[in-house]
Amino acid sequence: MPPVLPYIPQRITVHLGPPNSDAENVTVSFVDYVKNVASSEIYPTWEESALRANILAIVSFALNRVYTEFYRSRGYDFDITSSTAYDQFFVKGRSYFENVARLAEELFNDYLRRPGFVEPLAAKFCNGTTVTCEGLSQWGSQNLARQGYNTTQILRSYYGNIEIVTDAPVMGITSSYPGTPLRRGTSGPSVVLIQTALNRISQSYPAIPKIPSIDGIFGAQTEATVRKFQEVFHLDADGIVGSATWYAIVRIYVAVTSLAELRSQGQQFYANSWASRNPISFGDRGVRVEHLQFMLSVLSAYIPEIPGVQVDGVFGPATRNAVLAVQQRYDLPQTGIVDHRTWDEIYDQFSGIETISWRNPEDFPYTNALISGMPPRARYARSTTMTQYPGVPLSSGSQDPVRQEVIR
Amino acid sequence: MSATGYIQVNAYASYARLPLRDVAITITANDGTAIAMRLTNRSGQIVPVEIPVPEASDSQVPNPPERPFATVNLYAHLRGYEQVEAENLQVFANTVTQQDLMMIPLSELPDSWDQTAVYTTPPQNL
């Protein structure tokens, strides 16, 4: 069997204490995790080559924990801890530094490995003054950088013979970076994708100007939109879609459309009763479980302490973990069973999200304008992937004309 | 404190980063003195706040005589959302400190309306 290549997870679950402690878990996007750890571990005023070396070590270490399932294979429900005695320093909710964050956006899918090995290097590090170790010295890396060492030289001086893997595949991102930057004058399908994504993002971010024509040509208007996107998301505002900008655009586009899909998915439950009934617990199946999982999915999109679940109608370990997380967050007895109190708490929180966040038409627009100019096949594909109104009115007894056109 | 650092915020809801406008941001010194008050714009951001901080050279060597960064506190409030208190934000010379505020919508029950999330940044280990 060929080796399974490492991928970059969309999100990572961090246990906020030593492995066996009764601490809570938080789930954050992988790139936000890297920003957080790097801002907690090193100073932003250091030389750039030192910052890069440290960030690559941080990424590699975290990916090693994910790839080897270091904790999950031991029965834990998290990927890594925040404890420096075991892993890397992570601080829930902390701020980060803009220059460090830019480097994290650039390096989050690069990592270190030994030649001939597949897994990311478990790249240990320590501060090098009060604590020493066999891996990278943080202060030592800064000293080497001040002596003129580049990032690779710094890393090799601590880890020996290593290679740097770049642009590793990212989980949940269906469109990988095309390999070369998109800039003024570029044309093709990658430009269409970026234009479509930017226009959808601009619905929520009106400061980002819409591109009037999704034509696949990277012209002055696309460049202006890219530049504004970069400003808003604190990237280098050069108007060029390099790797960091590409992944930032696609990541936000996927998140925005996924949330819109989830919101649409909820419509199937509006005919059901939302009142609590008999308790639901591990092993249960059916529509009631699906309904619960839908509400938990919504909560997990808004609350980092609540892990995501599949809406599959089966009350398995992931659903139980999400229920336990709700019970921990809202001070309910941690039973993993959805009794009246737990159901009502989940419903109340869901209801708050629905009332306060989901009624903003800018964030959840109909996509008619977006898809109306596309050919039928593309329009149908786009409308179904977004789970949105297909652009043509349907009434009782009629067939979907767009779909029929596509099938013919 | 002869150098300058900056604070910016990104206020949003959910992993989709839906921006939140008109979030009231208050930044205070550790003694509680107000340094600045701002409202977020339609991108969920503010006009950056300048903070006096130690020189960048102080963070280039281990164990400097003075702590090489300034710390401030930040409070965020928007009706309908959990309030946020972020304590001990670290601000370095010539650097923008970004505070993400992933604000959580509250249930409609009145007993949740003053719910507050508190995030504290511990001292650096370097």
Asked if B125 and A139 come within 8 Å (Cβ–Cβ), the reply is no
Across the interface, of B41, B59, B99, the residue whose CB is closest to A45 is B59
- Could you tell me where the beta strands, DSSP code E, fall in A127-236? 136-137, 163-165
**Domain boundary pick from A269, A302, A335:** A269
In total, chain A counts a number of residues equal to: 408
The encoded tokens of residue B13 equal 């809801």
Distance of CA A355 to the CA centre of its chain: 25
- Domain assignment present for A400: no
Report d(CA A306, CA B102) in Å as an integer.
14
Question: Using CA atoms, how far apart are residues A152 and B16, in angstroms rounded to an integer?
Answer: 35
Residue A304 three-state SS: coil
> Which tens digit of pLDDT belongs to each residue from B43-57?
999 999 999 999 999
Question: Which residues of chain B lie closer than 8 angstroms to A352, CB-CB?
Answer: 80, 105-108, 112
CA A162/CA A155 separation, integer angstroms: 8
- Inspect the interface and report whether the beta carbons of B16 and A252 lie closer than 8 Å: yes
Q: Model confidence over B74-115: pLDDT tens digits?
A: 999 999 999 999 999 999 999 999 999 999 999 877 777 788
Q: What is the mean pLDDT of chain A?
A: 89
Residues A337, A247 share a domain: no
Least confident piece of the model among A65-69, A148-152, A392-396? A392-396
Residue A381: predicted pLDDT: 44
Name the residue of chain B whose CA is nearest to A232's CA: B43
Do A33 and A130 belong together in one domain?
A: yes
Which positions in chain B touch A92 (Cβ < 8 Å)?
119
A219-275: pLDDT as tens digits: 999 999 999 999 999 999 999 999 999 999 999 999 999 999 999 998 888 888 888
Q: Which pLDDT band holds residue A191 (cuts at 50, 70, 90)?
A: very high
The band of A3, judged by pLDDT with boundaries at 50, 70 and 90, is low
Contact B16, A258 (CB under 8 A): yes
Distance from CA of A31 to the nearest CA of B (A): 12
pLDDT for position A402: 40
Residue with tokens 């530094």: A97
The reply to whether residue B102 touches residue A304, judged by beta carbons under 8 angstroms, is yes
Residues 6+ apart with CB under 8 A from A250: A173, A175, A193, A197
Same structural domain, A94 and A220: no
| A383 pLDDT more than 70 | no
Burial of A401 (0-12, 13-18, 19+ CB in 10 A): middle
Amino acid at A52: R
Residue at which a domain ends, from A235, A269, A303: A269
How many contacts does A have with B, using Cβ atoms within 8 A?
A: 141
Q: In this predicted model, what pLDDT tens digit does every residue of A276-285 receive, in sequence order?
A: 789 999 999 9
How far does the CA of residue B38 sit from the closest CA of chain A (Å)?
Answer: 17
Cβ contact, residue pair B108, A129, below 8 Å: no
Predicted local confidence at residue A391, as pLDDT: 46
Taking residue A365's Cβ as centre, other Cβ atoms within 10 Å add up to 15
Is residue A387 a part of any domain in this protein?
A: no
Give me the mean pLDDT over the A25-32 stretch: 96
Distance (Å) from the alpha carbon of B96 to chain A's nearest alpha carbon: 5
Q: Are residues A104 and A17 in the same domain?
A: yes
The answer to whether the Cβ–Cβ distance between B108 and A353 falls below 8 Å is: no
Please check whether residue A383 lies inside any domain of the structure: no
Query: Would the pLDDT of A1 be above 60?
Result: no
Better pLDDT: A177 or A402: A177
CB count in 10 Å sphere of residue A267: 9
**Pair A255, A262: CB distance under 8 Å:** no
Same domain, A96 and A138: yes
* Residue A371 DSSP symbol: H
The answer to whether the CB atoms of B16 and A351 lie below 8 A apart is: no
What is the distance in angstroms between the Cα of B31 and the nearest Cα belonging to chain A? 20
Q: Which domain holds residue A94?
A: 8-171
- Are A45 and B60 inside 8 Å of each other by CB? yes
| Residue A24 confidence (pLDDT) above 70 | yes
Of B7, B43, B104, nearest to A302 by CB-CB distance is B104
Instruction: Choose, out of B8, B21, B73, B104, the residue to mutate when testing the contact with A (most A CBs < 10 Å).
Output: B104
pLDDT digits (tens, 9 = 90+) for A5-16: 899 999 999 999
CATH number of the domain at A260, please. Answer: 1.10.101
Measured CA to CA, the distance from residue A292 to residue A339 in angstroms comes to 12
- Nearest one of A130, A134, A147, A132 to A49, comparing CA atoms: A147
A365 within a domain of the structure (yes/no): yes
Share of chain A above pLDDT 90, in %: 81
The model's pLDDT over A323-347, given as tens digits with 9 standing for 90+, comes to 999 999 999 999 999 999 999 999 9
Q: Which residues of B touch A204 (CB under 8 A)?
A: 16-19
Helix, strand and coil in chain A, % to nearest 5:
45, 10, 45
Half-sphere exposure (Cβ direction) of A65: Cα atoms closer than 13 Å: 24
- The answer to whether residues A292 and A355 belong to one domain is yes
Percent helix, strand and coil across chain B, each to the nearest 5? 5, 50, 45
DSSP class per residue in A25-38: EEEEEHHHHHHHHH
Give the integer Cα–Cα distance in Å for A201 and A197: 6
Which chain A residues have a beta carbon less than 8 Å from that of B48? Answer: none
Closest chain A residue to the Cα of B121, Cα to Cα? A94
Query: Which residues of chain B form beta strands (DSSP E)?
Result: 3-13, 18-19, 24-28, 34-39, 49-53, 70-77, 83-91, 96-102, 116-120
Contact call for B106 and A352, based on CB within 8 A: yes
Q: Looking at the domain assignment, is residue A161 inside a domain?
A: yes
Q: pLDDT (tens digit, 9 = 90+) per residue, A247-258?
A: 999 999 999 999
Residue B19, beta-bridge partner list: B12
The pLDDT value given to residue A403: 41
Into how many domains does chain A fold? 3
Mean pLDDT of the region A95-111:
97
* Same-domain pairing of A155 and A12: yes
CA distances from B45 to A69, A234, A281, B9, B41 (A): 37, 11, 43, 5, 5
Chain B hits for A355, CB-CB cut-off 8 Å, are 105, 108
Domain identity same for A299 and A221: no
What residue has token string 């950056």? B48
Q: How far is B117 from chain A (nearest CA, A)?
A: 9
CA distance A134 to A158: 8
* A125 shares its domain with A26: yes
Whether A393 maps to a domain, the answer reads no
Neighbours of A133 (CB within 10 A): 12
Which residues from A are below 8 Å from B94, CB to CB? Answer: 45
Q: Which residue in B has a C-alpha nearest to residue A139's C-alpha? A: B62
Residue A390 lies in a domain: no
* Interatomic CA distance for residues A25 and A22, integer angstroms: 10
| Cα A334 to chain centroid, rounded | 28
Residues A23 and A126 reside in one and the same domain: yes
Average pLDDT, integer, range A279-300: 96
What's the pTM?
0.88
Q: What is the DSSP string of A71-91?
A: TGGGT-S-SEES-TTTS----
Grade residue A390 by pLDDT with cuts at 50, 70 and 90: very low
Q: Kindly report the number of other CB atoms within 10 A of residue A257's CB atom.
A: 19
Answer yes or no: do A142 and A18 share one domain.
yes
* Pair (A194, A339) in one structural domain: no
Tell me how close the Cα of A396 comes to any Cα of chain B, in angstroms.
Answer: 34
Indicate which of A16, A40, A43, A346 best probes the interface with B, i.e. most B CBs within 10 Å of its own CB.
A43
Q: Can you count the helices (H) and strands (E) in chain A?
A: 14, 8
Residue A279 lies in a domain: no
> Residue B57 and residue B113: Cα distance in Å, rounded?
45
Domain-terminating residue out of A269, A303, A336: A269
pLDDT for res A2: 58
